[in-house]
A and B are shown apart, each in its own frame.
Chain A
Amino acid sequence: MSLLIGALTLGFIFSLIALGVLISFRVFSFPDITADGSSTLGAAVAAILLVNHVHPALATAAGFAGGFLAGALTGMLATKCRINGLLSGILVMTGLYSVNLRIMGRSNVSLSGASTLADFAERAGGALIGRTTFNAMGWEVASREASILLAAIAFIALAGCVMYVFFQTSLGTAMRATGDNSQMVRALGVSDDNMIILGLAVSNGLVGLGGALLAQYQRFADVQMGIGMVVWGLASVIIGEALVGTRSLGLSITGAVMGSVLFRLLVAIALRMGLNPNDLKLATAVFVFLALVAPSLLKRLKPFGHKLAGAPNA
Chain B
Amino acid sequence: MLDIAGVNKTFNTGTPNELRALRGIDLKVLDGSFVVVIGTNGSGKSTLLNAVAGSFLVDSGAIKVAGNDITRWAEWRRAKFIGRVFQNPFSGTAASMSIAENLALAAYRGKRRGVSWLLGKGLLSSMRERVRELNMGLEDRLKNAIGSLSGGQRQALTLLMATWLRPQVLLLDEHTAALDPKSADQVIALTDAIVKRENLTALMVTHSMQQAASLGDRLIMMHRGQLIQDFCGAEKKRLRPEDLMARFEEVRRAELLDESAAAMLRRMYV
Show the binding face of A for B, using Cβ within 8 Å: 166, 168-174, 176-177, 180-181, 183-192
Contact = CB atoms under 8 A, between A and B. Distances in A.
Contacts of A186: 75-76, 79
Contacts of B82: 187
Interface stretch (B24-32, B39-47, B84-92): B84-92
B92 A173 contact: no
Contact of B114 (A170, A176, A183, A184): A170
A185 B161 CA distance: 12
Interface in B59-81: 74-77, 79-80
Contacts of A177: 94, 97, 101-102, 105
Interface of B: 53, 74-77, 79-80, 82, 84, 86, 90-97, 101-102, 104-106, 108-111, 113-119, 161-162
- The 10 residue pairs across chains A and B that have the minimum distance between CB atoms: A189-B79, A180-B94, A189-B110, A170-B113, A186-B76, A169-B115, A177-B94, A170-B118, A191-B76, A171-B113
Contacts of B90: 181
21 contacts: A168-B119, A169-B117, A169-B118, A171-B114, A171-B115, A172-B118, A173-B104, A176-B97, A177-B97, A177-B101, A180-B95, A181-B94, A187-B53, A187-B86, A188-B106, A188-B108, A189-B76, A189-B80, A190-B76, A190-B79, A190-B105
B115 A187 contact: no
A180 B116 contact: no
A183 B91 contact: yes
A181 B76 contact: no
Given A170-B113, A171-B113, A180-B96, A187 B84 contact: yes
A177 B104 CA distance: 11
Given A168-B118, A186-B75, A189-B80, A173 B101 contact: yes
Contacts of B74: 191
A170, A180, A185, A189: most-surrounded residue (chain B CB, <10 A) = A189
Contacts of B95: 180-181
B154 to A, nearest CB: 11
A191 B97 CA distance: 19
A174 B115 contact: no
Contacts of A166: 115
Given A180-B94, A188-B109, A189-B111, A168 B117 contact: yes
A177 B115 CA distance: 15
B48 to A, nearest CB: 17
Nearest to A183: B91
A190 B161 CA distance: 14
B75 A170 contact: no
B84, B94, B110: most-surrounded residue (chain A CB, <10 A) = B94
A171 B86 CA distance: 24
B202 to A, nearest CB: 15
Contacts of B94: 176-177, 180-181, 184-185
A185 B110 CA distance: 11
A174 B117 contact: no
Contact of A190 (B113, B118, B119): B113
B76, B117, B118: most-surrounded residue (chain A CB, <10 A) = B76
A214 B100 CA distance: 40
Nearest to B110: A189
B104 A181 contact: no
Nearest to B119: A168
A171 B113 CA distance: 5
A172 B93 CA distance: 16
Nearest to A194: B76
Contacts of B118: 168-170, 172-173
Given A171-B113, A187-B84, A188-B161, A180 B108 contact: no
A169 to B, nearest CB: 4
Contacts of B119: 168
A174 B84 contact: no
A166 B113 CA distance: 12
Nearest to A169: B115
B114 A181 contact: no
A185, A186, A192: most-surrounded residue (chain B CB, <10 A) = A186
A192 B92 CA distance: 15
Nearest to A190: B76
A313 B86 CA distance: 45
